[in-house]
Structure 1
């Protein structure tokens, strides 16, 4: 990536953060609802028996707690030290213990059900992310996708595993307490409940504001996560371009945005807590004042007043849990929208189609056209054949569509027009898994995973690989010698993206991986362009072993790679403008002749430089 392109991408990130919208993760505007949330829950297949048992136990625990104030009422009204017995005290203590045990078990079971549900959700989401096509990742930033998997599922988990428990028990407690209070004294209960609409006038708008702040905070968190992921994964590029100040500015905007939302959230919470306390104290004053009058008039006993106050606690205390649930529920709706957006995205189906067994046939590109999104087509009516067991070199100016051609052959994308055929069959007729097993791909970047050399060579192999087979593949890739010289041999850790190895070593491991895969079709994308001359010689020898007997397509800028090809296809602006051998194109294709002359001059300069040293 050159400096100008990198600068443009960074400027885009800064601009997107200023506008407070994540770039590349465009979501349809929709209003979330509980129906969407229930749809998501059904997809996770929760344990109904566990939830029903937990709810039943919560109901039982709450009913027991509703009995406690009645015990207290009876105790206060008939209080006499001489009348107290061990049996009464034991019964009172037993009720408390039973209520605590039942409530504890119900909370554990609801939490367990919630944790299982979210684990199933994350499993579905992870499976989906692996099945999404490359085009999805072209249009969505990786950091934001990671945020869906971690932050958004965490929001769902908190609602189900934590807030739902308090909401359920709190609702039962509130409803049960109100029913008992109406039974005890409907007049006093009506006076008490008259305070609630007054509180709602303040709480409902605050709840709405909390929802908006929470939704904005989630979006800002996703955007900030995306920036961190992109910058930290390319930290060497950042440092080599002296871009730390620029990235600090971009990250600073994200931190400021998170602080801005956090401050607004703190303001709302600072209003909610005192309001809740004010409502509680107002209710307590009303109950004590009005209740005292009722007691003095004989309409209410002292025990009933005490029971009223206890039931009031059982109404007010769960209110904070219920309000928290609704705030969290609104946050969860936003997270649900984004999760369902991923789960409903079109995915690759790896198993539909017939197996691609006879891959040693001619590959035909027939009138192939393709464009990313609605942009100018990258390929335009491209046609040529590749005979089985031959080497075809794809050459031409940068941006002509060579790498896109490889992506279509790997079926990362589907052509907008035309077909690619293996023999007489369209490659779309083969199952994706069996088709990709026939292809070995060695790119310029030589992607490696964090892990050992053994894990990287065996990556994607679905059976046990013996040490002898592993070493034979490494020897053919000219990698066994340098691997053997490492302290831990094949168990050496390569670091993130293979950073502990040189470019030539990474290339040879990638070639060993392709050899172990034993593909029928081989694709080499600038496989030696980033290597020094010494490493290139070794890698070229390894590639010869890899190419032997395989149908090979090579994207190359070096003449040494092209000259020996059975066929050279010259691609300009998405079209084939020349086909033939090196000698044929030298005589018939002016731009190829310029390309060959330039490469020959560079090759002579390299030889002269090597001799001078």
Structure 2
């Protein structure tokens, strides 16, 4: 059972490496040079044997010394080049692996990120690929040369004196009795260490990305305790790993000493009896070093390989996950078209339905407001329109075509989206406004979009203007400024369909007035869907859709719903009181 699993692990790792399309010519050349370098190193003890057996000052010649020195230099040069080429091959494999993984992460659908924590995904990209890199770029070189050195040395030793070689190899099984269980222990420790590291990375990512929430809630002690738990757990695994390593080093030293005692003792007897020459005994000791020293490297390789198995499984699970396909589908075509939502239903995973049997139509160039109690599925509807999720029932059509028949990339380019907290990337204002635009944006285009978004004036007053850094998540700007940059970004994109999700609800009255004016410029001539709680945002809409608990319970103009829909009337009355209170203040 374990053997089959190990074979599967080898195959999985080889399959993962094959996906990176490594340079076969470079790998083969490196392996051949490694073979050659190790082969040359196997000749050194034989030269030493001849030198010792025939040693005398009269027989010593410059030719012998030159050949002897030349062998050392040749072995060093060939081994160095082999090591370099294997390292370069390993680095290239891992670079390609990271490239594939990064590309994959960007095309994974939103449901993947709903069910996988960001910190763990980051750990796959950084820690796990680092483990694979270490195996290929560092451990593989010493493993290959070590295997060749051990096999070659044993063959030469059997040729020189099979009896003494048999006695020497008899010590190896004794060492294996200790080393194999220790290797298994190291595997389990390494696996646990990787898991704990991923969890710790997740905690760090979550806390540091929301550090303002932590501070505002005085939660430093709570988060310190949570992080300290992972730190202690990592420390405990580190101590366990140190214990195993502390046992391995003395065991290797013990085996080395045992072998040396056996060779010197038994070999000395054979030299005194004339069965073995002094040069052959020296050669035996040198070959012993070439067997024992690589054993450490081979053991390290298998320990690292077991670590890599776990990393390979996790990386493979990401690479094998279903992804969004941006290459298929028909073009959307020119001209604005109606959006028709028919019998639409949706639920996250196997959970309760969020939307049930929605039916309504949005005419091109009109404004449709979607209102209702919180948690009714309004934002989910926007996610379905952008095809972040697939409906569990019903259809969404653009014109006469189902939206899933369009090319995904082209379909999403039809949308401009402004949310309650429009996200900004760490970078300049210019980079944020131009984000996602693939063509070069000239200054005139940029300024025009900013002016229509009522953002140009405040940007011009900043010391660096459009090259001002906004900070992580735009923290250096106010909420109103962030919203206007998001509106400028949407204007520059020139979308056919505009989606506004509570775009002014988090702003103060002064900022809201400016942003509302910017939104009017953005909405002009576009099909617009608005999620809003503010009456001022929805009262002039061409139609209002009222959604409760995922179901459509009313549709019409403001006046029609005011007369026919009790809950909408209550909603409107509350908003009117709120507005009066704000004016009073």
- Compute the TM-score of the two structures, normalised by the length of structure 1: 0.94
Matched, 1:569 2:545: yes
Cα distance between partner residues in 1 of 2:64 and 2:370: 93
> Considering only aligned residues, what root-mean-square deviation do their CA atoms show, in Å?
1.0
Task: Determine the structure 2 residue equivalent to 1:308.
Answer: 284
Displacement of 1:290 in angstroms is 0.5
Any stretches of 5+ residues in structure 1 without a counterpart?
A: 1-28
Aligned ranges 1:271-420 → 2 under 5 Å: 271-358=247-334, 360-420=336-396
Matched, 1:431 2:411: no
Displacement of 1:359 in angstroms is 5.4
Q: 1:366 is paired with a residue of what secondary structure?
A: strand
Displacement of 1:87 in angstroms is 1.1
Q: Paired residue for 1:101, among 70, 77, 82?
A: 77
Task: Determine the structure 2 residue equivalent to 1:167.
Answer: 143
Task: Determine the structure 1 residue equivalent to 2:182.
Answer: 206
Task: Determine the structure 1 residue equivalent to 2:166.
Answer: 190
Aligned ranges 1:587-598 → 2 under 5 Å: 587-598=563-574
Q: 1:79 is paired with a residue of what secondary structure?
A: coil
Cα distance between partner residues in 2 of 1:597 and 1:138: 37
Gap change, CA 1:130 and 1:94, over 3 Å in 2: same
Q: 1:82 is paired with a residue of what secondary structure?
A: coil
Cα distance between partner residues in 2 of 1:122 and 1:115: 10
Task: Determine the structure 2 residue equivalent to 1:4.
Answer: none
Matched, 1:111 2:87: yes
Task: Determine the structure 1 residue equivalent to 2:15.
Answer: 39
Could you tell me whether the CA contact under 8 Å between 1:32 and 1:333 is conserved in 2?
Answer: no
Could you tell me whether the CA contact under 8 Å between 1:362 and 1:385 is conserved in 2?
Answer: yes
Matched, 1:72 2:70: no
Q: Paired residue for 1:502, among 470, 474, 478?
A: 478
Displacement of 1:31 in angstroms is 9.8
Could you tell me whether the CA contact under 8 Å between 1:349 and 1:432 is conserved in 2?
Answer: yes
Cα distance between partner residues in 2 of 1:281 and 1:357: 80
Q: 1:83 is paired with a residue of what secondary structure?
A: coil
Q: 2:353 is paired with a residue of what secondary structure?
A: coil
Could you tell me whether the CA contact under 8 Å between 1:366 and 1:381 is conserved in 2?
Answer: yes
Matched, 1:524 2:500: yes
Q: 1:81 is paired with a residue of what secondary structure?
A: coil
Could you tell me whether the CA contact under 8 Å between 1:571 and 1:578 is conserved in 2?
Answer: yes
Aligned ranges 1:431-450 → 2 under 5 Å: 431-450=407-426
Cα distance between partner residues in 2 of 1:469 and 1:32: 57
Could you tell me whether the CA contact under 8 Å between 1:359 and 1:521 is conserved in 2?
Answer: no
Q: 1:102 is paired with a residue of what secondary structure?
A: helix
Q: Paired residue for 1:60, among 25, 36, 49?
A: 36
Task: Determine the structure 1 residue equivalent to 2:97.
Answer: 121
Runs of 4+ in 1 over 3 A off after TM superposition: 29-32
Could you tell me whether the CA contact under 8 Å between 1:452 and 1:490 is conserved in 2?
Answer: yes
Matched, 1:546 2:522: yes
Render the CA deviation track for 1:422-472: whole Å, top value 9, x for unaligned.
010000000110000000000011100000000000000010000000000
Cα distance between partner residues in 1 of 2:165 and 2:249: 24
Cα distance between partner residues in 1 of 2:552 and 2:326: 31
Could you tell me whether the CA contact under 8 Å between 1:32 and 1:337 is conserved in 2?
Answer: no
Cα distance between partner residues in 2 of 1:351 and 1:580: 39
Displacement of 1:358 in angstroms is 3.1
Cα distance between partner residues in 2 of 1:359 and 1:487: 41
Cα distance between partner residues in 1 of 2:113 and 2:252: 46
Render the CA deviation track for 1:532-554: whole Å, top value 9, x for unaligned.
00000000000000000000000
Render the CA deviation track for 1:483-541: whole Å, top value 9, x for unaligned.
00000000000000000000000000000000000000000000000000000000000
Displacement of 1:355 in angstroms is 1.2
Displacement of 1:356 in angstroms is 1.2
Any stretches of 5+ residues in structure 2 without a counterpart?
A: none
Task: Determine the structure 2 residue equivalent to 1:135.
Answer: 111
Displacement of 1:30 in angstroms is 11
Cα distance between partner residues in 2 of 1:208 and 1:45: 32
Aligned pair count?
581
Aligned ranges 1:206-225 → 2 under 5 Å: 206-225=182-201
Q: Paired residue for 1:534, among 493, 510, 515?
A: 510
Render the CA deviation track for 1:363-394: whole Å, top value 9, x for unaligned.
01111110011110100111110010000000
Cα distance between partner residues in 2 of 1:187 and 1:31: 35
Task: Determine the structure 1 residue equivalent to 2:452.
Answer: 476
Displacement of 1:32 in angstroms is 6.0
Task: Determine the structure 1 residue equivalent to 2:203.
Answer: 227
